[in-house]
Chain A
Amino acid sequence: MKRHLLSTEDLGRDDALLVLDTAERMARVAEASVRKLPTLRGRTVVNLFFEDSTRTRTSFEVAAKRLSADVINFSARGSSVSKGESLKDTAQTLEAMGADAVVCRHSASGAPHRLATWVRGSVVNAGDGTHEHPTQALLDAFTMRRRLGRVDGLAVTIVGDVLHSRVARSNVWLLTTLGASVTVVAPPTLLPLGVSSWPVEVSYDLDAVLPKSDVVMMLRVQRERMSAAFFPTEREYSRRYGLDVDRAARLADHALVMHPGPMVRGMEISSQVADSARSTVVEQVANGVSVRMAVLYLLLGGSGETT
């Protein structure tokens, strides 16, 4: 593994598989009676969240604690950062505190990359702007592998606001690296202009793609997008790109429905589908802990116990 996990675009196949295999071992810890490993005892993991995300922050926190690391939650929102403290100041503060790993969530694309140039510890990108969210993609791949036995050769359809989605970007790179064939489906306004250079198929027609999909991954669509004329109304979006019961019926029996959360029920996905047997939404949350344990374990060398 490299020192940082900043993106899946530069994550090689061997490293990706190493994370998934390690996550499998970590998942067994979660199933054991004592759900804690001493591996990162004495190591400090800082959760540096410039954006609110209770889900992701909690997931990393649980992961680090199960590895016996000390966890500091540095919620930068509302703290000194909003008073003009720069990202660099924050980095220097964390450096002075002796952080071994910094888990960074930021609204600006590339912020973790900048952070990585200023700290000695490992940086884990926990979502940067509309760029990447690598641990989300890893947990998605992990979920697919657990349910369907493989990622290689799967037909994965990613539906929704691809333009603004860091989850979509990370999944596109990781899943294609792992041998899946990916199709992105969205209204043309919600696809980046440069999508033609991605290793994916592009479709505007969800109904046509669904029967061929092993996995359909629904992305959250923020209602605010309407105001910028990305689509006319919530109902029109839902009619054309929402996954409701009728649409879900077009899926093959084995096909999975995934969502990175938080869902906008009734917008991109109906409650019946979100709660159906083919939905992996809850599993994804559980798997997130295993995958994040694996990432922290691999980046920090997992040697904390012996030092």
Chain B
Amino acid sequence: MSGDRDTVGSAGTVGSAGARGQDGSWVLRRVRPLGGEAVDVLLTDGIIGAWRPAGSTTPDSEGLPPGTTILDTDGLILLPGLVDLHTHLREPGREDAETVESGTRAAALGGYTTVYAMANTTPVADTAGVVEQVWRLGLDAGHCDVRPVGAVTVGLAGQRLAELGAMADSAAGVRVFSDDGHCVSDALLMRRALEYVKAFDGVVAQHAEEPRLTAGAQMNEGEVAARLGLPGWPAVAEEAIIARDALLAGHVGSRLHICHVSTAGSVDIIRWAKAKGWQVTAEVTPHHLLLTDDLVSSFDPVYKVNPPLRTARDVAALREGLADGTIDCVATDHAPHALEDKETEWAAARPGMLGLETALSVVMETMVVGGHLDWAGVAERMALAPARIGGLPCTEGGPGSSIAVGAPATVTLLDPSPRRVVDADALASRSRNTPYAGRSLPGTVRATFLRGRPTVLDGKVV
């Protein structure tokens, strides 16, 4: 290995060799782009500079920028940096549960390079001022790009439209609008929102839940709820809103995105809406791909989430829908909660689960191991599609682009081989409400690069 290169910042097991120079050029040696044949990939000047034959790059290789660090990434899978359309960062307002800094740290460790921060903060992100605050906090933290989501209605109250245009025109450049946590249940207001955001190519992300059908609801309505005596959250409360909104989107020719699809019936409705040619997209959470409502039998509120965990039949339909593209992407709905909001009786607990640091592993477990998706498919569902839906600027070659030469060096390196047992106390999130604690999951994110700058190396935040 080169003696003349500074070894400060050596990347440990990820980078067993080489050094990091001022210009931050990196060679990923024997990495497997999208799980394919191994190559050496050069990251330089913030972009993917070159692909070279596997193992051909040494410190003495010609054409390497001075100070290039060579990382031994043998066998690691190279993916475009992941994009999460649905993250709760809790700041401003509930900094005890999560901050932009801690949440984006968790995101980087999970392989994410962009997160969309939901609007249900305190104050609500329903003005240009609040979305710019969140956006700037993201810049300051520097772990990944933070794209604030703007509220559709003032205070998430479902009464009148927030100043969507002001948020779109702000420095935060908001393109995704959502009252997530609440459904925009008023049909006329929803229609107007869908129409209005067309002016700046925005999209309304609907939390589909007919509130009259879910008053007091605590878990999926079905056999388990009947046993446990918990008020049921019926699948139809989600499906009815999705059907209505798909019809509205078709009628006014707008883009509609459906948050956290959780039922088999919803998948059918979205498939139908897409067949009509309407601009309807949808996301599914990792937990709805893996967990089922029988876990509620423990009455442990770590399994309380909205929409609730459903049945094995729903899980199968969601996996199938994600595999065939009916569901466009995976979004975490990362929802940190302070311990006191979860260490309670079931009905008093807040709904929500952590997700950023386990999402890729859960998708690997549920979709890749079972053969539903290959790694190119994972890249599409976890990076490219959410980037398109979220309207990321310069998507061509931007975050969430493919891994071609000339594309930004915004990438994630996954070690697919080891299984790990999730340790809630080891998570970067300020909260501990992971439903996977003690569960074995495959895959570990070893490194994340944001425009050529490592945010995670050797599984640790840089």
A131, B232: Cα distance in complex, Å: 13
List the A side residues contacting B299 at CB < 8 Å: 109-111, 113-114
List the B side residues contacting A194 at CB < 8 Å: 221-227, 232
Given known A87-B344, A108-B345, A193-B221, contact A129–B229 (CB-CB < 8 A): yes
Question: Do A129 and B232 touch (CB < 8 A)?
Answer: no
**11 A-B Cβ contacts within 8 A?**
A108-B348, A109-B218, A109-B228, A110-B230, A110-B299, A131-B229, A193-B221, A193-B222, A193-B232, A194-B224, A194-B225
Whether A166 is near chain B, meaning CB under 8 Å from some CB there, is yes
List the A side residues contacting B228 at CB < 8 Å: 109-110, 131
Most buried by A among B227, B298, B346: B227
Complex: chain B residue closest to A191, CB-CB:
B226
Complex: chain B residue closest to A114, CB-CB:
B345
Question: Do A169 and B229 touch (CB < 8 A)?
Answer: yes
Complex: chain B residue closest to A113, CB-CB:
B299
Complex: chain A residue closest to B347, CB-CB:
A108
List the B side residues contacting A264 at CB < 8 Å: none
List the A side residues contacting B298 at CB < 8 Å: 113
Whether B33 is near chain A, meaning CB under 8 Å from some CB there, is no
Binary per-residue interface labels of chain A (20-37) against chain B in the complex, 1 for a CB within 8 Å, 0 otherwise: 000000000000000000
Question: Do B230 and A195 touch (CB < 8 A)?
Answer: no
B-contacting residues of A (Cβ < 8 Å)?
Answer: 9, 86-88, 106-111, 113-114, 128-132, 166, 169, 192-198
Whether B234 is near chain A, meaning CB under 8 Å from some CB there, is yes
Nearest chain A CB to B233 CB, angstrom units: 11
Q: Which of A9, A114, A129, A131 contacts B344 (CB 8 A)?
A: A114
A131, B225: Cα distance in complex, Å: 9
Range, interface on chain B: 20 to 34
Nearest chain A CB to B189 CB, angstrom units: 25
List the A side residues contacting B60 at CB < 8 Å: none
Question: Do A131 and B230 touch (CB < 8 A)?
Answer: yes
A193, B228: Cα distance in complex, Å: 12
Whether B62 is near chain A, meaning CB under 8 Å from some CB there, is no
A195, B348: Cα distance in complex, Å: 25
List the B side residues contacting A193 at CB < 8 Å: 221-222, 225-226, 232, 234
Question: Do B345 and A106 touch (CB < 8 A)?
Answer: yes
Question: Do B346 and A108 touch (CB < 8 A)?
Answer: yes
List the B side residues contacting A108 at CB < 8 Å: 345-348
Given known A129-B229, A194-B225, A198-B226, contact A88–B347 (CB-CB < 8 A): no
Question: Do A109 and B346 touch (CB < 8 A)?
Answer: yes
Given known A109-B299, A194-B224, contact A86–B229 (CB-CB < 8 A): no
Question: Do A110 and B345 touch (CB < 8 A)?
Answer: yes
Question: Do B229 and A109 touch (CB < 8 A)?
Answer: yes
Whether B4 is near chain A, meaning CB under 8 Å from some CB there, is no
List the A side residues contacting B224 at CB < 8 Å: 194
Nearest chain B CB to A296 CB, angstrom units: 23
Nearest chain A CB to B399 CB, angstrom units: 42
List the B side residues contacting A111 at CB < 8 Å: 299, 345-346
Nearest chain B CB to A21 CB, angstrom units: 27
A195, B90: Cα distance in complex, Å: 39
A109, B232: Cα distance in complex, Å: 13
Nearest chain A CB to B67 CB, angstrom units: 54
Binary per-residue interface labels of chain B (330-346) against chain A in the complex, 1 for a CB within 8 Å, 0 otherwise: 00000000001001111
Nearest chain B CB to A162 CB, angstrom units: 9
List the A side residues contacting B221 at CB < 8 Å: 193-194
Nearest chain A CB to B47 CB, angstrom units: 52
A193, B231: Cα distance in complex, Å: 10
Binary per-residue interface labels of chain B (283-319) against chain A in the complex, 1 for a CB within 8 Å, 0 otherwise: 0000000000000001110000000000000000000
Given known A86-B340, A193-B234, contact A109–B347 (CB-CB < 8 A): yes
Question: Do B229 and A197 touch (CB < 8 A)?
Answer: no
Question: Do A9 and B230 touch (CB < 8 A)?
Answer: no
Binary per-residue interface labels of chain B (109-140) against chain A in the complex, 1 for a CB within 8 Å, 0 otherwise: 00000000000000000000000000000000
Binary per-residue interface labels of chain B (195-224) against chain A in the complex, 1 for a CB within 8 Å, 0 otherwise: 000000000000000000000001001111
Question: Do A169 and B344 touch (CB < 8 A)?
Answer: no
Question: Do A88 and B343 touch (CB < 8 A)?
Answer: yes
Nearest chain A CB to B57 CB, angstrom units: 55
Nearest chain A CB to B437 CB, angstrom units: 15
List the A side residues contacting B346 at CB < 8 Å: 108-111, 114
Most buried by B among A87, A110, A129: A110
A282, B173: Cα distance in complex, Å: 71
List the B side residues contacting A109 at CB < 8 Å: 218, 228-230, 299, 346-347
A132, B218: Cα distance in complex, Å: 16
A198, B348: Cα distance in complex, Å: 27
Binary per-residue interface labels of chain B (394-429) against chain A in the complex, 1 for a CB within 8 Å, 0 otherwise: 000000000000000000000000000000000000
